[in-house]
Amino acid sequence: MSDVMIEVKGLRIVAGSETEGMSEIVKGVDFAVKKGEVLALIGESGSGKTTIALSLLGYTRHGCAFAGGSVRVGGTDVLSLDDAGRRALRARTVAYVAQSAAAGFNPARTLMDQVIEPTQLHRLMTRKAARAKAVELFRALALPAPDSIGDRYPHQVSGGQLQRVMAAMALITDPAVVVFDEPTTALDVTTQIEVLVAFKRVIKEVGATAVYVSHDLAVVAQMADRIVVLNGGEVQECGEVDQVLDAPAHAYTRALLAASDHRQGRGADERAAAVDGGTEAPLLEIRGLSAGYGRIDRHGHPAVCVLDDVNLSIARGSALGVIGESGSGKTTLARVVAGLVERASGEVLFEGQPLSAQLGGRTADQYRRIQLVFQNADTALNPSHTVADILGRPLAFYKGLRGAAAKRRIGELLDLVKLPASTAGRRPGGLSGGQKQRVNLARALAAEPSLILCDEVTSALDTVVGAAILELLRDLRRELSVSYMFISHDISTVRAICDDVLVLYAGQGVEGGQRKLLDRPPHHPYTGLLVDSVPALERGWLDAHRNIGSCALPPLSADSGSGRLCSFRARCSVRVDGKCNAVPPPLRTLPSGAQILCHRSADELQTLQPVRGAA
């Protein structure tokens, strides 16, 4: 098998210690990858994907050890290498692109210094040659200003750009194998498309063999040639992408596909019926909201404006999805409602009563009835406290419950979020990502809120766990009549759980209406871009949509200086010079009932939008 680049046979990895006991987390895994092929490792969190991928570098996490089997890369027996041999292997023969680029870079050094560092450590080329090669990779990865971006520091580029810089660092040594570990999980849909296109093109150009770790089946369908399905450290299925996705042989693979369909909102009409608000006043209403950071001027505008003239309402028992790219103002909106960020101007009404801009100005009941569930449960839960301590605090603060009464209610809360009672005695470090997010949600429910602000609560979870959390949120809404503001960059998630949608771009609400506005054109041009950027679970989708948002735009004429111009005009392929950059867009109502801020009529948008994203 001279064309085989990677061969893994009977790989076993254990975790723990001899005193506390050892557990097998990778159980006799076998697979092979041919030269130039892209193999995807998929499965739930804890299935062993990353552990197996890291074995290709001869590495195990702290507390883990190789217990058997073999790993061969290009004929080299990786597990038999000593420390020096493994250091020589890493970056030179096998390179790694981590999930979090932000955590992988030194903030005190320039990007260029870090990208060329592997070439200097392995003495592959001069510093001048390395810098020239880095610029070539920046250009191939479609990074802006490739000649100068290397002079920036990590905090001076976006998340998607930093992910591509990390890929350049991995590829600069011309490795035979590149391991991509969930490299687009935390990116919004439009940025993800750019990064996937860049990765796929460069892998093909350099002829590298790749292992792509992911829980996103739609992404895998675009990137991989073959798939290995993992569960509990064991291979459940291995085959060509088309076979695994279209005719899965194993029940677990079928369950993964079903969870992906469920999370994308297929069959969403079967969810809890939308609430008919009738003439009842909204639970939450926001009018003309502006917010940001820094000194507020006499016109009510902050020095740095994050939200500008945002309007929305949430009926009792309903769910509003707030979508947009990173930096659109979604989280700031939730923090304004929660009282963590002061608004500069506008009104926020809760049950018809004004909410103070400052948390200290709110009543105890208002404080209790609006709860925020943070995106990252790892940082939201105190690692030194037990789950009982974490849930007991809001029970004591809001309800005055202590002792046996608190213990009883903690058991009820754990049952409500479908966690065993034994979880109460555990600390967050001993829980899975999905379990921690359930505890995060149980803490909010302890206050018996009317409104829960969910900030990207499923973005870091795998498909199966994310679908389970969405199902839980639907159940709680039905059982407790709780309302949600559901903040996400994942349109599939919003489709699955929300009744209404607000689309934010650069702090402006550019479209709002019922969830059906996402289903078909016409849309606001930005909404259309977001919808078109959601990968479909079908081969070739990325190639057919690789030009989304990247068409050449005609130059805009000079701005008139008028306030509140369309914030999307610089990226809009259907903009109108002399209107979009001269006067604020009118509020239009589309046939779907959605309201948009746009100079284009519904008929014009219907005609123009179907051609978006053509290859």
Token pair 């996705």 in the structure block, residue: 245
Q: Are residues 252 and 294 in the same domain?
A: no
The average confidence (pLDDT) of the chain is 88
Distance CA 147, CA 261 (A): 43
pLDDT digits (tens, 9 = 90+) for 499-528: 999 999 999 999 999 999 888 889 999 999
Q: Are residues 209 and 313 in the same domain?
A: no
- In 3D space, the residue among 408, 417, 21, 434 whose CA is nearest the CA of residue 215 turns out to be 434
For residues 300-326, give the mean pLDDT: 90
Q: Are residues 415 and 461 in the same domain?
A: yes
Which residues 6+ apart lie within 8 Å of 422 measured at CB?
none
pLDDT digits (tens, 9 = 90+) for 544-593: 877 776 556 656 666 655 567 888 988 898 898 889 888 999 999 999 89
Q: Are residues 474 and 385 in the same domain?
A: yes
Distance CA 181, CA 466 (A): 18
pLDDT for 612 equals 42
CATH code for the domain of 477: 3.40.50.300
Last residue of a domain, one of 205, 234, 263: 263
Domain that holds residue 612: 520-615
Q: Are residues 286 and 406 in the same domain?
A: yes
* Residue 184 banded pLDDT, cuts 50, 70, 90: confident
Q: Are residues 452 and 352 in the same domain?
A: yes
Last residue of a domain, one of 208, 232, 263: 263
Q: Are residues 510 and 524 in the same domain?
A: no
Which neighbouring-strand residues pair with 41? 213, 228
Joined tokens for residue 210: 């790749």
Sign of the torsion formed by the C-alpha atoms of 575, 578, 584 and 586? negative
pLDDT for 349 equals 96
| 8 A C-beta contact, residue 151 and residue 112 | yes
pLDDT at 335 exceeding the cut of 80: yes
Q: Are residues 281 and 230 in the same domain?
A: no
Q: Are residues 174 and 96 in the same domain?
A: yes
pLDDT at 312 exceeding the cut of 50: yes
Specify the number of domains making up the chain: 3
Q: Are residues 538 and 499 in the same domain?
A: no
Q: Are residues 434 and 577 in the same domain?
A: no
HSE (side-chain half, CA atoms, 13 Å) at 133 = 22
Q: Are residues 256 and 401 in the same domain?
A: no
Last residue of a domain, one of 263, 288, 323: 263
| 8 A C-beta contact, residue 62 and residue 143 | no
pLDDT at 262 exceeding the cut of 80: no
Joined tokens for residue 233: 């450290």
**pTM of the model as a whole:** 0.82
pLDDT for 609 equals 66
